[in-house]
Amino acid sequence: MAVTPATPLDIASHGPVIPVIVIEHVHDALPLAEALLAGGVQVLEVTLRTAAGLPAIEAIARQLPQAVVGVGTVLDADDARRASAAGARFAVSPGYTQQVGDACKALKLPLLPGVATSSEIMAALSDGFSFLKLFPAEAAGGIPLLKSWVSPFGQVSFCPTGGIGPATAPDYLALPNVRCVGGSWLTPADAVRSGDWARITALARAAQALRGAM
């Protein structure tokens, strides 16, 4: 059964880690998504970094309605429109522009905007977005930066993404303003190339257990 469309905060409630997925070949989309679902990971961010991204989203949305498939690397309004038409349930952008925000609002496509500075947070807040993606998390300042934002931006929660792995994810998840983290470690390129879906299921299961292990 298909789940209802997710808001950004609903997306965070499904688990501590949102996989950031780069798909090189469309035929990998369904077995990869099935492997993540088998490990308990329901929210999938498929990026537009490759030509296979958009058809992969369409295939997952059509064949696996139990997955909450979203689109990553949304850079402009056209990206948002094409992804929404393909069946994406939410959008993630590496940065924030009002153009992207307005397009997603018009499409009723929940947006997780990327920020790296206080000014970008203020711009996103002014447009009604309070659940934000810190990107690139480690390069931008990581845990110390998020700690410094707790006081001035108490109404904002984050999904840090970029440079985070299973060893550091629990430290991020322990912060009061972090709802979840994004990470590519759940879908290693070599595992996808070799079709090692069991390995991806194991990584997904371990990721789902991260918050409980804190």
133 a catalytic residue: yes
- Helix axis angle, 197-208 to 29-38, nearest 10°: 40
| List 34, 58, 133, 138, catalytic entry | 133
Instruction: Say which residue the tokens 């490990």 belong to.
Output: 39
Residue pointed to by tokens 């009002």: 98
Asked if residues 84 and 65 have their Cβ atoms less than 8 Å apart, the reply is no
72 burial via Cβ count (<10 Å: 0-12, 13-18, 19+): buried
Please provide residue 3's backbone torsions phi and psi, each rounded to the nearest 5 degrees: -85, 160
Place of tokens 């108490």: 154
Handedness of CA 30, 32, 36, 42 (dihedral sign): negative
**Read out DSSP for 28-93?**
GHHHHHHHHHHTT--EEEEESSSTTHHHHHHHHHHH-TTSEEEEE---SHHHHHHHHHHT-S-EE-
Q: Which of 34, 45, 58, 138 is catalytic?
A: 45
Catalytic residues: 45, 133
